[in-house]
Amino acid sequence: MDKKSRNALIAGNWKMNMLASQVPAYWQGLESGAKLAEGVSSALCVPFPMIPAMKAALAGSQVKVGAQDVSAHDKGAYTGEVSAAMLADLGVDYCIIGHSERRAYHAESDELVNAKLKALLGAGITPIMCCGETLEQRDAGVTLSFVESQIKGGLAGVSAEEMKKVVIAYEPIWAIGTGRTATAEQAQEVCGYIRGVLACLYGAELAKGVQILYGGSMNGKNAAELLAQPDIDGGLIGGASLKPEFADIIGAANEG
Ligand code: PGA
């Protein structure tokens, strides 16, 4: 299986932006520009309160709804948390886990990310597991070993069968929301390395089938070059997913 046989996935990460009442107008704006086609999957990962509005807006389209976090617990006395079963019940297809903002502001460890990943798989939701280094780590030359440790920690105890349902997103922290995109070479180097780590863990055949996304200031202008790299199968898009420009990125994936 090579790049051509892996479907592209373009996922938007709204972070803590927008309101449920703004969802229909957003979708109308996007739909008029979106060139959706076979082979490219897309999703919008929105804050929990917007999931029903987004589900309603996207009904009949190929775009799926995603969440941005999930509890590691099944149910019970966990005030404020949202379980994987609750997300599945709302028809959520994807869920971001281990985003660097959650790792930084909520002290999420690889162990916790691993527990969340397993909770999602148990509920039939596709995890989009994020990894990525800080600028200090890049400058210190430890990017690859750090990302490898995040991948191995996040996937601990995950079987080969389960791994077929996991998406990985490489997001260098210094490129997130900064307008400073990784060069296509930098992004490819790490995404290729991640595929190598997956090959060691699960075998080369399985690794070739895993969708690996790049995220970090991807936009309508730089998407085509990034998506053309052999080990980059899509994008996790923050800022640009809030604008009609998101459709341009889906269009770039369609053409790639
Ligand atoms: P950005 O965010 O596209 O705004 O850099 C990406 C992300 O954090 O997922």
The structural domains of the chain, with segments of one domain joined by +, span 3-255
Distance CA 170, CA 167 (A): 10
- The pLDDT of residue 30 is 85
The catalytic position among 101, 108, 133, 171 is 171
Ligand 1 centroid–CA 77 distance in Å is 32
Contact assessment for residue 65 and residue 49, using Cβ atoms and an 8 Å cutoff: no
**Full-prediction pTM beyond 0.95?**
yes
Check residue 203 and give its pLDDT: 98
176: nearest Cα among 125, 207, 219: 219
Catalytic member of 99, 101, 133, 148: 99
Q: Does domain 3-255 have CATH number 3.40.640.10?
A: no
**pLDDT tens digit sequence for 158-176:** 999 999 999 999 999 999 9
Indicate whether residue 235 lines ligand 1 (CB < 6 A): no
Segments of the chain scoring below 70 in pLDDT: 1, 33-39
Q: What is the distance in A from the centroid of ligand 1 to the CA of 249? A: 13
- Residues 86-96: b if buried by 16+ CB within 10 A, e if exposed: bbbeeebbbbb
User: What distance in Å separates the CA atoms of residue 151 and residue 210, rounded to the nearest whole number?
Assistant: 13
Instruction: Tell me if 239 CB under 6 Å of ligand 1.
Output: yes
The widest CA-to-CA distance across the chain, in whole angstroms, is 48
pLDDT for position 5: 79
Q: Please give the distance, rounded to the nearest whole angstrom, from the Cα atom of residue 238 to the centre of ligand 1.
A: 3
What local confidence, expressed as pLDDT, does residue 179 receive? 84
Active site residue 171: yes
The DSSP letter of residue 126 is E
